[in-house]
């Protein structure tokens, strides 16, 4: 996996958790304002959820990227984790994503499968 940069929303417990994971792997972490500029356009969007439960504001971001034909991937933490890990790796490699925006609900930091998913990557 050739992931270089992870874009995250600032001030979010979910983003802080993902940021710590990324920095531990030597992946750069950059704030993302959801107002894309030329120097801040991710190669892809990863939406992490549980039980396919997605908040409206997060779903709107996903729809925006999907409409712009920017590769998107949804991962359900309560699904089969090995399948989720493999699908994510293939998605990053097949779409040549080096800079990915990762979004998810702040409640996900309580889900023990988040840590397992990130360790699997």
Q: How many residues does the chain have?
A: 121
Q: pTM to 2 decimals?
A: 0.91
Total domains in the chain come to: 1
- For residue 33, with 0-12 CB atoms within 10 Å meaning exposed, 13-18 middle and 19 or more buried, which class applies? exposed
Confidence of residue 101 (pLDDT cuts 50, 70, 90): very high
Confidence of residue 52 (pLDDT cuts 50, 70, 90): confident
| Average predicted confidence (pLDDT) for the chain | 91
**DSSP E strand stretches across 50-113:** 72-76, 99-104
Contacts of 26 (CB under 8 A, 6+ apart): none
Q: What is the pLDDT of residue 26?
A: 96
Residue 49 has pLDDT above 70, yes or no: yes
Whole-number Å distance between alpha carbons of 42 and 70: 8
Mean predicted confidence (pLDDT) in 81-89:
95
Q: What is the CATH number of the domain that holds 27?
A: 3.40.50.450
Domain enclosing residue 49, as ranges = 5-120
Mean predicted confidence (pLDDT) in 1-16:
92
Strand order in the sheet with 5-8: 28-31, 5-8, 99-104, 44-49, 72-76
Q: What is the pLDDT of residue 103?
A: 95
Q: What is the pLDDT of residue 33?
A: 80
> When comparing pLDDT for 67 and 33, which is higher?
67
């Amino acid at each position: 996996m050739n992931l270089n940069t992870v874009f995250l929303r600032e001030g979010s417990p979910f983003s802080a958790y993902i940021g710590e994971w990324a920095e531990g792997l030597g992946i750069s972490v950059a704030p993302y304002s959801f107002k894309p500029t030329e120097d801040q356009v991710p190669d892809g969007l990863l939406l992490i959820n549980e039980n396919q439960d997605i908040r409206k504001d997060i779903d709107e971001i996903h729809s925006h990227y999907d409409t712009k034909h920017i590769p998107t991937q949804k991962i359900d933490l309560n699904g089969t984790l090995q399948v989720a890990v493999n699908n994510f790796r293939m998605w990053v490699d097949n779409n040549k994503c080096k800079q990915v925006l990762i979004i998810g609900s702040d409640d996900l930091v309580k889900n023990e499968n988040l840590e397992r998913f990130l360790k699997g990557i």
